[in-house]
């Protein structure tokens, strides 16, 4: 058996999420179908982090095992000829059996993209979240620092979250503005369900001036999801990258070069 790791990029608008499901079209389902065609055998892929319906992937990582011997180009260019235009393989790298896309990842990073101007953009529809009210990115960034470190994020987990607990470690939380775009970048060892979108909704309340900077930390301490703001829509969220030990020699993604 040969194990390959792939970099995957996708627009999640047309899919019911990453995970293969029998009743709807998924990113995993499309990718497995394409790779199975190339390999001429059934391929099952494992990803670094599953994304919900409408969420996009910039640097998703998967791995799969195959008995087929194919050149590097078959898993990239060949697979792309079989995939719909909103899903692409960006790189392929053969790895040893010790690599696992999910369990070998040391951290994951997401970016929530807000298009912040008075009128929405037709070109960015479905790719960013539009917010008409001016946002104070500096206030949002200050508020977000209260969420750093290993803490209980029960106030920011979805009611249907199946994780055993809300304990997670946020290693980076940065809110920045680039002209009309406000970015919320969050890196953590792992995430509970809807954690990034719930944090984004809370920080936008602070950015609008509807809540004080201290509110994010206060919500965290409450450990009560019912006290936090609504979940931010899926279209602004991107799975940016997964972080692995250097020993695997996987390609590294320069985020700001390829995303607003």
Could you give the residue numbers annotated as active site? 52
Q: How far apart are CA 229 and CA 202, in angstroms?
A: 5
The first and second tokens of residue 47, run together, are 């990803």
Q: How far apart are CA 9 and CA 50, in angstroms?
A: 13
Residue ranges of alpha helices (H) inside the chain are: 27-39, 72-73, 79-82, 137-144, 195-207, 215-222
Closest residue by Cα to residue 53 from 96, 7, 13, 107: 13
Residue ranges of alpha helices (H) inside 27-136 are: 27-39, 72-73, 79-82
SS3 at position 160: coil
107-116/181-188 β-pairing: antiparallel
The first and second tokens of residue 144, run together, are 């977000």
The reply to whether 110 sits in an annotated binding site is yes
The first and second tokens of residue 192, run together, are 């509970």
Burial of 192 per CB tally in 10 Å (0-12, 13-18, 19+): buried
Q: Which residue shows structure tokens 């807000």?
A: 114
Asked if residues 201 and 232 have their Cβ atoms less than 8 Å apart, the reply is: yes
Binding-site residue numbers for substrate are 110
Binding residues: 110
């Amino acid at each position: 058996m040969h194990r390959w790791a792939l970099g995957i990029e996708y627009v999640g608008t047309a899919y019911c999420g990453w995970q293969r499901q029998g009743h709807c079209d998924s990113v995993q389902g499309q990718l497995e179908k394409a790779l199975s065609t190339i390999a001429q055998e059934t391929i099952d892929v494992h990803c670094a982090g599953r994304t919900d319906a409408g969420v996009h992937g910039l640097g998703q990582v998967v791995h799969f095992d195959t008995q087929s011997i194919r050149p590097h180009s078959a898993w990239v260019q060949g697979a792309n000829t079989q995939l719909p235009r909103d899903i692409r393989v960006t790189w392929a790298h053969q790895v040893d059996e010790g690599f696992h896309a999910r369990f070998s990842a040391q951290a994951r990073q997401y970016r929530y993209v807000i298009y912040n101007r008075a009128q929405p953009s037709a070109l960015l529809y479905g790719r960013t979240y539009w917010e008409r009210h001016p946002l104070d990115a500096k206030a949002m960034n200050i508020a977000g620092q209260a969420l750093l470190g290993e803490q209980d994020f029960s106030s920011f987990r979805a009611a249907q979250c199946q994780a055993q607990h809300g304990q997670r470690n946020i290693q980076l939380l940065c809110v920045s503005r680039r002209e009309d775009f406000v970015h919320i970048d969050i890196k953590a060892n792992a995430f509970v369900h809807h954690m990034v979108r719930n944090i984004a909704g809370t920080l936008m309340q602070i950015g609008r001036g509807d809540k004080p900077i201290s509110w994010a930390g206060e919500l965290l301490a409450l450990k009560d999801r019912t006290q936090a703001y609504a979940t931010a829509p899926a279209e602004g969220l991107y799975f940016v990258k997964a972080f692995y030990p250097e020993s695997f020699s996987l390609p590294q993604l320069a985020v700001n070069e390829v995303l607003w």
